[in-house]
Structure 1
Amino acid sequence: MNIKTVNHVQVSIPVGGEQAARDFYVGVLGLIEIPKPMVLRKNGGLWVDAGNIQIHFGSEDNSNRSTTKAHVAYEVPNLDAIRESLAKNRIEITDSIPIPGYQRFESRDPFGNRIEFMEKVLAGQSSSSAKIQIVPYTPRWKEEFEAIRAKLLEILDSGIQRIDHIGSTSLVNLAAKNVIDIQITVENLENKSIIKALESLGFIHLPEIKFDNLVGFSASSNELKKHFFKEPLGERRMHIHVRESGRVNQEYPILFRDFLRANSDVKGAYEQVKLELARRFSHDSNAYYAIKDPYMDTIYKAAKIWAREVGWVCRKAK
């Protein structure tokens, strides 16, 4: 048996879903609709050209699309452009497990069908070197944090005081990079058991990252010491910051988060700054953070004033 090539792929859409399919596949993704043969038009659906193959959208009801692993993988010349188009239309994006030679992510069409987008990585280019991309808020971030927190609580000892969802993904309706930031507050940063515990779950310790940066403090200040971990290989992107209770860098992200939760205008301005920086410096992370970090420090100074006015304290509850 010798199969020459794939002629087309069939995708299921609900009866009457043709216009929604056009809006997404033609309007958002930019595929080209082609005429169906006259004899098949009575069955509904539509066909599109996807480069070397055709995608046929056939209408049917009672299909469970939301849980199946079945999907179409589109190889594209510019993954960032696809991501940007989806984000502009507030369509949720999920990072895929990395595979050699490709950058990729997943999404769902309006009917729940799973879609994958892939771009080949050029020689010498790291698949982890994706540009700075700000995407719309999704409630899934909170759910993902809660799942990670539950896993952490199973293996961490009594030296842990609290585990917080921090960073932009912890703020409802704030656009952010699709990275879950988590802070683990410990009694004593010198207790190395936390490192072993996190490594036992596959988290990758980056020992070269030992300090945060904050205007007004020396680069090696004890107030800025921490341990830093990245996600286990193949899992969704996340950053684990282990900081000592009572230190400036431990209070900073919690106060920053709570201040923005209570002040929507400041949160909106912060979002605008991030979006503009990502637009101007999407491939220059040094420039992006050189401007963003001092701006955050300015917000933190305002948050300190707010904290005194409202009686905010950084509580020591888990």
Structure 2
Amino acid sequence: MEKNFSKTGLIVLILFLILIFSSVIICAQDYQIYYKNGYDYFLQEKYEMAEQSYKKAIELNPDFEDAHYWLGKVYRQTGAYSQAIEQWKEVLRINPANQYAYQNLAGSFQGTSRIQSDKASDYLNEGKKIIGYPEEYLFKASAPSVNSLLSAIPYFKRAVKIDSGLLEAYYWMGEIYRVLGEQSTGQFNSPAMESYLKVIKMEESANPMSFEHPSPYWRSYLQLAKIYRFLGWRNQEEKLWLQLENTKSLPYKQALERKGYFGFGYPSRIEVNFRDGDKIENWSYPEKDTVFTVLNGEVEGEKEKEAEQSEMEIILEENIPEEKSQP
């Protein structure tokens, strides 16, 4: 009796598995059929019917990458750009490496219709306004939406087209691409790195001997290093920090060498004072026990060491008993 029961149970289990397997096959065949129909309708420019077919395929398989992609193309063909963008974002959610969806998403916003101007600064400020004055979100977990970030890029591009030396515009493009790399797909890391490197190269070419550099320059080093670290590019990160160290040391090194002081780089400490309109600095090198006085950027010489106060020696007098006179 138990043997017959076991055989019956096994048969039921096999039939159940066959039913499930058959259902999966039928479902897979169904969404593939809808996808194929959608593609045929698209080629025939029957976009409404293509839309319905792709939607049905996605309903049966929500993570159907190709159906989302082609539905995005249907929306683009019919002028429904916002809906197209949402589909390409879905494609990148499913497969962040999809190059076609990335290219379509990156090129979704081209217009700069919010302002009409011939000043680069106007486009720069408008781009920053679109993403909500980004200095705030740099230090917060929340960031502007993907659409807001993408829509700001054309304004920064327009700014550098008017003024190719506008470092801040390149920097904010780098920031946008970096955040998009975190929110959407790592493919945005490439243009982010290009933008940061552009800032660094332009500033170091234009002002190699300058003691001071604008904020976007320093920030580009920091953000580029973050991307290298995230990607695991340890060698590139080390080379980047070495480049920064050499670059910031160069003006100090040359200023000191002009006065005959060799072997010095970036000071460990810089003290700045202003007196009668002059800028007075002390460049400190504790490892060499040396401090240089610098007046308005020109090395005056080594700072004289302050005379050391001699320590007062405290002599403790011993109480020597007085000798008593002998009788």
TM interval, shorter chain, is under 0.3
Q: How high is the TM-score relative to the length of structure 1?
A: 0.22
Q: Bigger relative contact order, structure 1 or 2, given CA contacts below 8 A and separation 6+?
A: 1
Whichever structure has more strand as a proportion of its residues is 1
Q: How high is the TM-score relative to the length of structure 2?
A: 0.22
